[in-house]
Structure 1
Amino acid sequence: MGLIGTVLRGVVALMVVVGLALGAGFATGFLGVPSAGVVDVGEWGEVTEDQTEIVTTLWVDNPNPIGVSIGSGLKADYEVSMNDVKVADGQKQGIDVASGNNTVELRTYVDNEQLQPWWVEYVRANETIHLSASGSATVDAGFESVTVQFPSMEETMQEDSAPIIESLSAAASEAEGSYGPYEVRRAYAEWASVNESTTTVHFVYEIHNSGPTHVPAVPKGFEVDVQMNDVAMFEGGTGAMTPKNVAENATIAPGETQELVFAVQMDNEKVDDWFRSHVGNDELTHVEADVQFVFEVGDVTFRIPPDGATYECDFQTAMLIEQQDRTDCGDGGSAGAGHASLAPAAAPRP
């Protein structure tokens, strides 16, 4: 059961309890007390450029022979936060039901403008998602008003994994190996900095000169292309891209090792597009990352890796969908064609 559904179930339970309390007013026994429950604990609804909808469906059974309002004075409201950033809230009040069985939809909207502040906290938490929801209900019976606060519900996902930076590290590590005088001994990526407008990743390479002469320390070209569900997230290098820690004309002496750090930035406005694609794909993201650089020594060009390598992996969350959050990014992904997606296989047609 999803977290938001759990809170909404509490809202519905309170409606029933309140109904029982007010049932004393039905002294003649002519009117019965409506009951309610959850049909669908919560699912993603319509996704637009401005907001992402969450829909929870309730059932309400009115045993009375006529339509009865279960209170223009009854109000239930709730909110959802991710990494301590409130991303959604909703309210339902004045619920009228006809005789018999009815369904009621409660709609919560994720404010897409809050996704960038959430992304900042998500990166700072090393991609751990802390999801919380809380709610309250108020009943005004005309002569008395009662408000009950629900205890906050919390859930944590990706606590032991960081699929985005792990996929970038895996893409960088495809360069490890020997290329003429150049020996890439270690390569990885790490989060560098993040604010509401920009996210910076450092690609770090430890390069050893195994040749007999000095070689350039700075490549002539450095290219990065990271796609998440076909949304271009990190891109860099349309020619020479100087490492942030080495002078452009620096060289590596024979037998020496030089660390190169390349800073690649992302405009955080891209987070909105990616989040909508993630939700629309059953909370599944497919990552494709390409990293390649080029050294020139005299008339000889060394491409690292020689033919390039697209690293692919998937990660899946479980915010509203009943599934396990999981990932094969890092050691479980693959370079080149043939990556097996985490997405379940389609059911055979009858």
Structure 2
Amino acid sequence: MTRLSTLAQLRRISHRGTRHGSQRQARRPRTDTHTAGNRLQWAALVASSLPGIAALAALLFTWVSVEQSGKQLQIAERGQVTGRFNAAIGNLASPAVDIRLGGLYGLERLMRDSPHDQPTVVTLLTAYVREHAHGKVGGSASARPATDVQAAMTVLANRDPRHDGSGDFDLRNVRLRHLGYLGMWDRSRQRVIGINFPEADFSAADLSDADFEHAHLAGAVMAGTALREATLDGAELADAVLADADLARSHLVRADLRRIQAAGAHFEDTYLTKAEMEEAGLRRASLVRASLPGAILRGADLRQADLRDADFTGADLTGADLTGAKNLSTAGFDGAVLKGTRGLPS
């Protein structure tokens, strides 16, 4: 009985093991089926992503190509600018004036097309003028600047000063007598505009009878400069240095002469009608027969100035200092504002 029960138990255990083995074998196909399904899903996902990956690669390739093309274009443009610059320089050395003019106008176009190169062109043109109009004191008093010198000054005058950078405006000792008008008609403002030479150095230059109407010369250095009979109507000369300059018989109607330093300057027979001369330094200056009707001379320094027959009719001399002025009794002050003016006879 015991043996039979033992055999029965062994049969049951054997049967149970066989059944479990069969169940494990039955489950394996389901696992393989699940894995194959995942693989198919990943394959489908990759396949669907391929167009996007291709588009991204194409975009990257295009960007690299454009970047490379841009660099090559910049190199080509710089090469063209260098070629144009060298050609213009070569023309300036020509003995023929028409070829030199071509070089000058080539540099003008170069300044407009490549503002980055303007400081170099400005310095070059200034040196050209200085070389071709330097110290030529001899010759006829009525002689005008050479055609190419006038052209170089005109190119300089009508540039865009915003791109000057470190350009050098050294025009000391140049002889530019009877220099023609350098301005131009401004269509946008419907008015005449003048040259742009702020802070330029014209020391000891001969600019007699030059036409600087409406010129922008703020802060310019004109110490000892000859400006006899020059036209400076409407010019901006605020803070300019005019010490010992000769402006006899020149025209400065409505000119901006605020804070000029003009000690010892000559203004004999000069027209200064309605000129702005606030805080102007005119110590020891000669204003013999100068015409200053309506001029604004508030706070001006006229100490020891020669005022013989000067006309201050309607001028504003508020706070001006005339201490030690010469020939004060001959000057005309009809209608002038003399509030706080010092140095007047009591």
Q: Give the helix-richer structure, 1 or 2.
A: 2
TM-score bucket (shorter structure): under 0.3
Q: Which has the larger radius of gyration?
A: 2
More RCO (CA 8 Å, sep 6+): 1
TM-score, length basis structure 2: 0.21
